Amino acid sequence: MATLPETLPETTMRVERPPRPRPKVVAGAAPVLLPWLRAQSINVTRHAAALRPFKREEFGIGAAMPSEGHIQVVNELITKLRRGLLKMSENVHRSIAKASATPSSPRLQRVVSHKDKAHRWVQGIEKIWDFYFELFGQRSGKYGDWLLSCDRIAMDCYQAAYTGLGVARSVPAPPPFCYMKTGFAPATIRRGIRMRRLGKQLNPFPLVQLPYHRLVNPWTLGAVMHEVSHNLQSDLGLNKDVPRKVGLRLLEADMGRFVSSVWVRWNREMFADMSALLLGGPEVVGSLMDVIGRAPGAVFGFNPRGPHPTPYLRLLISAEMLRRMGFEKEAEQYSRAWTRIYPNPRAGSIPRKVLATFPKACALAVDTMCYRPFQSLGNKALSQVIRFEKKDKAMIEESAQRMAAGVDPGIIPERFLIGAARVALDRRMARPGVITENFYKELVRR
């Protein structure tokens, strides 16, 4: 390691530093440099202008167009980010003005440094702008009515939950927004979550991603209620209470730390399944079977880090919920069909402790999650906030007959129309294409 000497050399001689060389301007560079500098100033100005807020009317004129609320919060995000870009643009303009007067290498390098920083900011905003432009742009195409229909189902789910609370809560806005994306399974992005696609900016409203094949077959759209329920768990302040209470209940019942930790890890996906059943009724289990009814290896496969219950057990959890809701017959029918397809769960990788404790642990988890009060729900249980009873199933069955016949299904809530489409399909009341057409026609009409 280098060290300073103990004493400096004695000298009275003054050492003068050589003068700094004056910046040199390359002869003959001006005909290229000056127009190029001017172009950079124009470019950054036009970049900022192009990343402008959206106008609602540019995405169509029908009911499917994005709401004022959705446009407003996205524009607020874009405007906030543009302020940073405009400040960077000023730095670019000032450095260009100085370099144009004296195009020395240091001044020119200052220009490209400011330009590079502004360009990266432009790319970040452009990424966000493109994301919402694509999302909103889907509404002006031929699938706009399908997405509008799913929006209305999602809105109905929120209204059912918030009107059933035992205490007033701030009303979330804007409501969920559905969009189409290719893939195997639906997904959601919750409100207030930092998104990579948005450069880690906060997502301003719930997004529900739906694959095309689900939209084509509306009786599979129980997934909408599942994905919306993820957002409800967050917006209702149950993110921490649900896993904590489930874990404590299982530990108190001597389920052991390992088994308790498994059910805690499953809490979000299980909550979404349970809430979807309360929102849509028994037919939602049919939608679930559509998703998880796969090859035995996948159904019996236990993922020690996965947030979803093992598919084999996931269906049986829903059957337990149906039983608690008072639909014992349907619970038995689904359980028998499922175990007929998959008779030997020990053939997979589900831990023995999880299988051995499943009946008791499942009953306790369902009871804790749906039939015990939560302070954030106004000291009500989830099953009291969102109610589904036998009279609601009768309403769905009657509407299924009307939907199949092309008749007005009546005042049935939007979320019940998914179950009506499922009943119409399962009982062969009409051709699938007729059911699909009438399903969307009714939701768009509203």
pLDDT in tens, the chain (446 residues): 433 233 333 333 344 444 544 444 445 667 888 899 999 989 988 988 888 899 998 898 889 999 999 999 999 999 988 888 888 889 999 999 999 999 899 999 999 999 999 888 888 889 999 999 999 999 988 899 999 999 999 999 999 999 999 999 999 999 999 999 877 778 999 998 898 888 888 899 999 999 999 999 999 999 999 999 999 999 999 999 999 999 999 999 999 999 999 999 999 999 999 999 999 999 999 999 999 999 999 999 999 999 999 999 999 999 999 999 999 999 999 999 999 999 999 999 999 999 999 999 999 999 999 999 999 999 999 999 999 999 999 999 999 999 999 999 999 999 999 999 999 999 999 999 999 999 999 999 99
Say whether both 334 and 271 belong to one domain: yes
What residues form DSSP beta bridges with 180? 210
Residue 18: inside a domain, yes or no?
Answer: no
Question: CA–CA separation, 137 vs 146, rounded Å?
Answer: 14
Residues 358 and 254 in one domain: yes
| Cβ-Cβ contacts under 8 Å for 81 (sequence gap 6 or more) | 121, 124, 125, 128, 201
136 and 150 belong to one structural domain: no
**Residue 4 domain flag:** no
Of 160, 153, 226, which is closest to residue 388 (Cα–Cα)?
160
Query: Does residue 374 lie in a domain region?
Result: yes
pLDDT at 15: 40
First to last CA, the chain: 79
Give the domain-ending residue among 89, 106, 140. Answer: 140
CA dist., res. 38 & res. 97, Å (int): 9
In a domain, 24, yes or no: no
Residue 71 belongs to what domain range?
32-140
3-state secondary structure of 178: strand
State the pLDDT at residue 141: 83
- Looking at the fold, whether 107 and 194 belong to one and the same domain comes out as no
Instruction: For residues 151 and 123, state if they share a domain.
Output: no
Residue 122: partners with Cβ closer than 8 Å, 6 or more residues away: 44, 47, 48, 51, 85
- What's the predicted TM-score (pTM) here? 0.87
Last residue of some domain: 117, 140, 163? 140
Per DSSP (E only), the strands in 196-341 are 201-202, 207-210
Rg of the chain over all Cα atoms, to the nearest angstrom: 30
- How many Cβ atoms sit within 10 Å of the Cβ of residue 340? 8
Q: How many CA atoms lie less than 13 Å away from 358 in the CB half-sphere?
A: 19
Which of 335, 350, 385 represents a domain boundary (last residue)? 385
Q: Is residue 7 included in any domain, yes or no?
A: no
Three-state DSSP at 380 gives strand
Residues 243 and 259 in one domain: yes
Please, what's the b/e burial string for 381-400 (b: 16 or more CB within 10 A of its CB; e: otherwise)? bbbbbbebeeebbebbeebb
Q: What was the pLDDT predicted at 8?
A: 31
In terms of domains, do 155 and 135 share one?
Answer: no
- Does 87 map to a domain? yes
Q: Is residue 441 part of a domain?
A: yes
Do 202 and 54 fall into the same domain?
no
SS3 284: helix
Residue 13 lies in a domain: no
Based on the fold, state whether residues 260 and 298 are members of the same structural domain: yes
356 and 415: one domain? no
Looking at the fold, whether 243 and 204 belong to one and the same domain comes out as yes
Domain count, the chain: 3
The per-type count for the chain, helices as H runs and strands as E runs, is: 18, 5
Reference 219, options 444, 432, 2, 5; nearest CA is 432
The CA distance from 292 to 58, in Å, is 39
Contact (Cβ atoms closer than 8 angstroms) between residue 345 and residue 336: no
Q: What's the pLDDT at 29?
A: 65
What distance separates the 2 farthest-apart alpha carbons in the chain? 109
Domain match, 373 and 401 both: no
